[in-house]
């Protein structure tokens, strides 16, 4: 048989397949490039202590959209490019585990909750609960009254105490989540459940600071006697673990008591525990832990985005005026906007998108780990390597978003002259099987507070000693990043606006 170009190609392809089958990916591809490290410790000393997304972006300019470093022998892959992230997304079943965190996860207890639980059957059960409760625009529809009700309580609180913006936003986000999860209405003033959960979440942030606890690098330290020097983390871990347990158990018991008394409001828990006697103990545990993951994932993230919206309005009075003109033209001044107005308000929707792009709530996402060796972007991703997606860099890529530091809602609007730029929701909520399960709730809440605030309030710079203060847009470090605290004035747009806010009956 003569060797034609066709069967030569087939034979060559067959040979290549055989070669690929025989060789592991390890032997086929190199690790992504990256800064050289030291023997044993690798790049530990190169890791930035704060605002790591800036350093990772700088490394990206030198090494490319995918790069790697080594931390005590463990590869960490840093992804700066949205295209590479979409490759990871497509192979979600391989790249959707979480790193094991000895302090925050195992000792303090967050590895039982969705954000840190390892990939597997339990993870899928939690995701199923999230997905049914608010995993699509359709599922969100029945929560609209709660979101609108809490938004109006926010307007009232803000009218009364405009200087308490952050506190009011925390009450708003906490109020929505507590209502949807436990059927609990947060109280004005100090709320015991919100305090409980926020304390536990503060512990989570402190316990997961990279490099803060040596036990994260040497897990067997937890087995040493506690009287040894340097073992103080064990006492702290026990204190924090108690707070985690209270966060999980106390609101859960509240709903169960309400159910027993026949006065429970509809909520994730009351619906899923309706047939409690037919549920196995493990199923009840899953429901309890899925519930506690809702507040953990949903409160701070939404607050950060909403706080950023107020900052954007202080810094961009023209965008604010344009948004208010749209509301006045479409809705008028005789009623407050509702979520049903969403399709008719393209500029407000564009502000929602731009807030999510301009201010990264989770600048470097939440770390994933690879469950198998694999190839991404032509490079080897070894099993167990940690994968960090620099979402901040992707949302500020000048090729995708020209003039990326400018707050420019227009970029999200399609016109005959130019199509809208890429929707930031494709990036800002993460990727793969770990993509944010609260994204629809997040967008709904964000739209609600933005449109309602713009309808009745003006946000402006403060004037101190005759001088206008222009705040800087700077962000705190951490998995969830907030705009640094800033000052602004919030005043009602008109007498009519005051009466619209006050006429709401609660
Ligand atoms: C503006 C608001 C929000 C932003 C920007 C945001 C962003 C993110 C990101 C980037 C991740 C990591 C995804 C990954 O690992 O690839 C995540 C995970 C998560 N988010 Fe959100 N989120 C927001 C609001 C919410 C809300 C409202 C909820 C809950 C109701 C929520 C619950 C969660 C949970 C439980 C996870 C962990 C999922 C898992 O590990 O499988 N988030 N979010």
What is the best residue among 128, 429, 448, 479 to mutate for testing ligand 1's pocket, by most ligand atoms within 8 Å of CB? Answer: 429
Cβ 431 under 6 angstroms from ligand 1 = yes
Identify whether 5 is part of a domain: no
Identify whether 34 is part of a domain: yes
8-state DSSP, 183:
-
Average pLDDT, the chain: 92
pLDDT at 210: 74
Nearest CA, atom 41, ligand 1:
434
The secondary element (H helix, E strand) that includes residue 311 is helix 281-315
Cβ 428 under 6 angstroms from ligand 1 = yes
Per the structure, the complete domain to which residue 349 belongs is given by 24-503
Indicate which CATH number applies to the domain containing 108: 1.10.630.10
Torsion of CA 178, 179, 183, 187, to 10 degrees: 70
pLDDT, tens digit, 9 for 90 and up, residues 84-114: 999 999 999 999 999 999 999 999 999 999 9
**Which pairs from 482-488 meet CB under 8 Å and 24+ separation?**
482/300, 482/303, 482/304, 482/307, 483/304, 483/307, 483/308, 483/311, 483/359, 485/166, 486/311, 486/314, 487/462, 488/165, 488/310, 488/311, 488/313, 488/314, 488/459, 488/460, 488/461, 488/462
3-state helix/strand/coil string of 117-139: CCCCHHHHHHHHHHHHHHCCHHH
Cβ 429 under 6 angstroms from ligand 1 = yes
Nearest CA, atom 27, ligand 1:
298
Identify whether 177 is part of a domain: yes
Ligand 1 center–CA 392 separation, angstroms: 15
pLDDT, tens digit, 9 for 90 and up, residues 132-179: 999 999 999 999 999 999 999 999 999 999 999 999 999 999 999 999
Identify whether 6 is part of a domain: no
Identify whether 258 is part of a domain: yes
Identify whether 1 is part of a domain: no
pLDDT at 120: 95
Contact criterion met (CB below 8 Å) for 379 and 411: no
Number of structural domains the chain divides into: 1
The predicted model gives 205-227 an average pLDDT of 88
The Cα–Cα gap between 431 and 90 comes to: 9
Identify whether 71 is part of a domain: yes
Identify whether 2 is part of a domain: no
- pLDDT for 22 beyond 50: no
């Amino acid at each position: 048989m003569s060797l034609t170009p066709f069967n030569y190609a087939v034979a060559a392809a067959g040979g290549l397949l055989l070669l690929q089958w025989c060789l592991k990916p390890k032997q086929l591809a190199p690790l992504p490039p990256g800064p050289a490290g030291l023997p044993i410790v690798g790049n530990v000393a190169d890791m930035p202590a704060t605002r790591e997304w800036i350093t990772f972006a700088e490394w990206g300019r030198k090494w490319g959209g995918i790069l790697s470093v080594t931390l005590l022998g463990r590869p960490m892959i840093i992804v700066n490019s949205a295209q590479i992230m979409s490759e990871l997304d497509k192979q979600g079943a391989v790249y959707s585990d979480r790193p094991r965190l000895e302090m925050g996860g195992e000792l303090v207890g967050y590895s039982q909750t969705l954000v840190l639980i390892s990939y597997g059957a339990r993870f899928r059960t939690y995701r199923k609960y999230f997905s049914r409760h608010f995993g699509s625009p359709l599922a969100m529809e029945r929560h609209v009254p709660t979101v609108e009700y809490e938004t109006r309580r926010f307007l009232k609180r803000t009218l009364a105490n405009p200087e308490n913006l952050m506190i009011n936003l925390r009450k708003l986000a906490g109020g929505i989540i507590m209502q949807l999860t436990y059927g609990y209405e947060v109280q004005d003033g100090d709320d015991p459940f919100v305090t409980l959960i926020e304390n536990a979440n503060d512990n989570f942030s402190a316990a997961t600071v990279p490099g803060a606890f040596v036990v994260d690098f040497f897990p067997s330290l937890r087995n040493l006697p506690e009287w040894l020097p340097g073992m103080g983390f064990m006492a702290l871990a026990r204190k924090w673990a108690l707070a985690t347990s209270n966060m999980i158990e106390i609101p859960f018991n509240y709903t169960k008591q309400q159910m027993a008394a026949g006065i429970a409001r509809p909520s994730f828990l009351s619906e899923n525990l309706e047939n409690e006697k037919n549920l196995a103990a493990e199923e009840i545990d899953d429901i309890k832990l899925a519930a506690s993951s809702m507040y953990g994932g949903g409160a701070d993230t939404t607050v950060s985005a909403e706080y950023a919206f107020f900052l954007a309005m202080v810094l961009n009075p023209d965008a604010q005026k344009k948004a208010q003109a749209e509301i006045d033209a479409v809705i008028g001044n005789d009623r407050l906007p509702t979520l049903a107005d969403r399709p008719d308000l393209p500029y407000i929707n564009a502000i929602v998108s731009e807030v999510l792009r301009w201010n990264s709530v989770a600048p470097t996402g939440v770390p994933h780990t690879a469950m198998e060796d694999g190839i991404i972007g032509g490079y080897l991703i070894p099993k167990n390597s940690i994968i960090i997606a620099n979402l901040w860099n992707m949302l500020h890529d000048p090729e995708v978003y020209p003039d990326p530091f400018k707050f420019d809602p227009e970029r999200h609007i399609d016109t005959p002259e130019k199509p809208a730029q890429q929707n930031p929701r494709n990036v800002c909520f993460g990727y793969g099987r770990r993509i944010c399960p609260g994204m629809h709730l997040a967008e709904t809440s964000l739209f609600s507070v933005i449109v309602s605030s713009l309808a009745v309030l003006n946000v402006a710079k403060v004037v101190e000693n005759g001088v206008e203060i222009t705040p800087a847009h700077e962000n705190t470090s951490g998995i969830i990043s907030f705009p640094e605290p800033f000052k602004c004035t919030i005043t009602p747009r008109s007498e009519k606006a005051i009466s619209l806010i006050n006429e709401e009956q609660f």
